[in-house]
Amino acid sequence: MDEMVIRDEVRRLPAYRFAHHDQPVKLDQNEAPDDAPELARAVAERVAAAALNRYPGLHPVELERAIAARHGWPEDGVVVANGSNVLIQALVVAAGLGRSVLTVAPTFAVYASQARLLGADLVEVPLGPGFALPEDGLVAALADRSGVAFLADPAAPTGNALDSAGLARFARAAHATGGWLTAIDEAYAEYAGYDHLDLARELSSVVVLRTLSKAAGLAGARLGYLLAHPDLAAHLRKVLLPFCVGSLQVAAGLAVLERPDLVAARVDAARRERVRVAAALRELPGVTVHDSVTNFLLFTVDDPAAVHAGLLARGVVVRRQDHLAGLAGCLRVSVGLPAENDAFLTSLADVLAHEVAARG
Ligand SMILES: *Cc1c(COP(=O)(O)O)cnc(C)c1O
């Protein structure tokens, strides 16, 4: 193939970094650890009733309505897509293309990859000590530019809560320029127990991104949404392809949104397990655990490659993060079912003991 048929930006972009592993204890993608049986049944019933010969709605109005009710948000300010990743791309197309994409580093990889893909000017401000929001650096980067700023709060893949007051000050400064859209990615908000919806109500240039892939347990269905000022939402809908959310997705989404009690129960379980796993990790010599308000934990070890491989050999999949700036030695583990977490902790202790023995 003549490589020149592909745009420079695409040729230069490395493939998304993800290695699939088939080991039984899967703790590498921050998913809900299982399908809640009651939810699975509710989804199956709705899916069975879907008319697959017909196109879905141009936009999934019924789902938008259910999401609006859940958050007390205007219906016409809800935009749904096949995962929040798609909405990140739509935001770059709508506000970053030919302009700038501003974010922090390290953070969720999709903001930077979409900026590069679409040839936007990418500005990455390093996180402060303790993975803190670099408020001054972010505000300084607004000057003489316009575009879209992406901030994940809770932060990912670090798992910490950002300073809400600092984030609000940044968003107000961005709003005051008249040329910046701020997208707050709240993929893990359910686990953290706080959100920035008030800020998005106050500022028409702030949108909140949510996903049904994590707490709602629908990673396989691919559903994400954003809450925005209705005028902004109308523009973002133009960027999405028509009929992009299918009937099967709508059925699954509606079934889950009807059972907030089941989602809340799983979130509670994940929070309890996070506390337990973090405490156990802290007891292991050679491991540093970072604070998390999410369903995953970032931890530092001396030899992340060896620990990752050792865990794989014992049937446990975690995610390497040590390739990211500022995350030398870091691995990320999702909070799973209690038995999975036990398998992880036992395996990790075993791997570390072997490492120490091997070093003499
Ligand atoms: C998991 C995750 C998402 C979810 O993306 P989807 O496309 O909705 O599955 C978004 N943002 C962050 C920071 C995440 O960790």
Expressed in angstroms and rounded, the spacing between residue 34 Cα and the centre of ligand 1 is: 18
Compute the distance between CA of residue 81 and CA of residue 241 in angstroms, rounded to an integer. Answer: 9
Q: What is the pLDDT of residues 92-101, one digit of tens each?
A: 999 999 999 9
User: Checking DSSP bridges between strand 319-320 and strand 288-289, what pairing results, if any?
Assistant: unpaired
The ranges of the chain annotated as CATH 3.40.640.10 are 53-258
Contact between 180 and 313 (Cβ < 8 Å): no
Expressed in angstroms and rounded, the spacing between residue 186 Cα and the centre of ligand 1 is: 9
Mutate to test the pocket of ligand 1, among 30, 186, 211, 334 (most ligand atoms within 8 A of CB): 211
The CA–CA distances, whole Å, from 242 to 62, 91, 239, 266, 336 equal 16, 16, 9, 34, 36
Q: Look at residue 16 in the predicted model and tell me its pLDDT.
A: 83
Mean pLDDT of 12-37: 90
Q: Look at residue 360 in the predicted model and tell me its pLDDT.
A: 61
Which ligand 1 atom sits closest to the C-alpha of 30?
Answer: 1
Expressed in angstroms and rounded, the spacing between residue 211 Cα and the centre of ligand 1 is: 6
Expressed in angstroms and rounded, the spacing between residue 110 Cα and the centre of ligand 1 is: 9
Mean pLDDT of 135-159: 98
Expressed in angstroms and rounded, the spacing between residue 354 Cα and the centre of ligand 1 is: 35
Q: Which amino acid is at 317?
A: V
Q: Look at residue 19 in the predicted model and tell me its pLDDT.
A: 85
Structure tokens at 141: 């980067």
Mutate to test the pocket of ligand 1, among 213, 223, 225 (most ligand atoms within 8 A of CB): 213
Q: What is the pLDDT of residues 187-207, one digit of tens each?
A: 999 999 999 999 999 999 999
Q: Which residues line ligand 1 (CB under 6 A)?
A: 30, 83-85, 108, 152, 156, 185, 187, 211, 213-214, 219, 224
Q: What is the pLDDT of residues 29-62, one digit of tens each?
A: 999 998 888 888 988 998 898 888 999 999 999 9
Which ligand 1 atom sits closest to the C-alpha of 108?
Answer: 13
Which of 37-41, 60-64, 107-111, 240-244 shows the lowest per-residue confidence on average (mean pLDDT)?
37-41
CATH code linked to domain 3-30+261-354 = 3.90.1150.10
Compute the distance between CA of residue 196 and CA of residue 207 in angstroms, rounded to an integer. Answer: 9
Expressed in angstroms and rounded, the spacing between residue 113 Cα and the centre of ligand 1 is: 14
232: left (phi over 0), alpha (psi -120 to 50) or beta: alpha
Expressed in angstroms and rounded, the spacing between residue 236 Cα and the centre of ligand 1 is: 18
Residue 357 has pLDDT above 90, yes or no: no
Structure tokens at 25: 């204890």
Residue 317 has pLDDT above 70, yes or no: yes
Over pLDDT 90: what percentage of the chain?
Answer: 89
Mutate to test the pocket of ligand 1, among 82, 84, 131 (most ligand atoms within 8 A of CB): 84
For residue 152, report the phi and psi dihedrals to the nearest 5 degrees: -90, 125
- The more confidently predicted of residues 107 and 49 is 107
For residue 122, report the phi and psi dihedrals to the nearest 5 degrees: -100, 125
The ranges of the chain annotated as CATH 3.90.1150.10 are 3-30+261-354
Over pLDDT 70: what percentage of the chain?
Answer: 99
Compute the distance between CA of residue 231 and CA of residue 222 in angstroms, rounded to an integer. Answer: 25
Expressed in angstroms and rounded, the spacing between residue 214 Cα and the centre of ligand 1 is: 8
CA 6 to chain centre: 29
Instruction: Spell out the alpha helix ranges (H) of the chain.
Output: 8-12, 37-48, 61-71, 84-91, 109-117, 135-142, 164-177, 189-192, 197-202, 230-239, 247-257, 260-282, 304-313, 338-359
Q: Look at residue 276 in the predicted model and tell me its pLDDT.
A: 98
Q: Look at residue 40 in the predicted model and tell me its pLDDT.
A: 85
Residue 1 has pLDDT above 70, yes or no: no
Expressed in angstroms and rounded, the spacing between residue 85 Cα and the centre of ligand 1 is: 6
Residue with tokens 């290695």: 19
Which ligand 1 atom sits closest to the C-alpha of 211?
Answer: 8
**DSSP secondary structure, 43-66, as one string:** HHHHHHT--TTS---SS-HHHHHH
Q: Is 115 exposed, middle or buried (0-12, 13-18, 19+ CB in 10 A)?
A: buried
Which ligand 1 atom sits closest to the C-alpha of 29?
Answer: 1
Mean pLDDT of 2-30: 89
Compute the distance between CA of residue 256 and CA of residue 215 in angstroms, rounded to an integer. Answer: 11
Q: Provide the pLDDT confidence category of residue 26 given band limits of 50, 70 and 90.
A: very high
The yes or no reply on domain 53-258 and CATH 3.40.640.10 is yes
Which ligand 1 atom sits closest to the C-alpha of 82?
Answer: 7
Mean pLDDT across the chain: 95
